[in-house]
Amino acid sequence: MSARLISRFVWPRFVLVWALCTLLGTAHAGLFEDDEARKAILDLRQRVEQANMAIKGVGVENAQLRRSLLDLQGQIEGLKAELSQGRGAHEQLARELSEVQMRQKDVVTVVDQRLRRFEPLKVTVDGNEFMAEPFEKRDYEAAMDVFRKGDFALAQEALGQFVLRYRLGGYAPSAMFWLGNAQYANKDYKEAMVTFQQMLKSAPAHLRAPEAMLAISNVQIELKDLKGARKTMDDLIKSYPASETAATARERLTRLR
């Protein structure tokens, strides 16, 4: 574009200067006739007009170039503004996405915590490890809290309801053992014997099975069934000879005989 402008703008001026020099040289020498002078003048005028037209054309083209440059500058500024708006929108979207992700994480945490309340838990009671529902664990611990406080009447009721409700669960043998103890403490001996017998029948290898047999012998003693008590303790020593409860049974047998 620059070479073209220079060619169109400078060349006509060069032609004009050359023509003027030619005219002056001709007039000074006096070598041409009048007709030839007129012809030369006309030719010079034509060339001057052409040069002026060329100069005007260059001016018009320059003006057009200026307008084009201004238009381009305006387009560039518009693009810059759009780009800036786009960046702002992108940053806003990024912030909103971050907030949504944080809220989603909070919701997932809350849901996970709530679901954990209903998921089975691994528990160990009296050496027996098993899976239990959260509400089963809660009810057992609540009943045992009552027993530990020494309120055996309320403990008998709470443990009795627990055994009925969760008789197939992992807590059942331990719950029956403590239910029998609560019944014994309340002098409900016949019910206590039934409970201990059910516990031994359902879980003969339970950690507290020897204690349940010794408790049965205690019930029989309270019911004045000394013969039955001695037999129960003999069975205890035979079934669980290495247990501490068997040693206790041997000592009691010596006193009963």
Span 198-254, pLDDT tens digits: 999 999 999 999 999 999 999 999 999 999 999 999 999 999 999 999 999 999 999
Rounded CA separation 183/192 (Å): 5
Q: What is the pLDDT of residues 137-154, one digit of tens each?
A: 999 999 999 999 999 999
Q: Is the pLDDT of residue 2 over 50?
A: no
Ranges 18-27, 107-116, 128-137: which has the least confidence? 18-27
Mean pLDDT of the chain, nearest integer: 82
Rounded CA separation 129/52 (Å): 111
Crossing angle of helices 244-256 and 226-239, rounded to 10°: 150
- Which residue shows structure tokens 């009925």? 164
Instruction: Look at 62 and 29; give whichever has higher pLDDT.
Output: 62
- Which residue shows structure tokens 């501490």? 244
The pLDDT value given to residue 51: 61
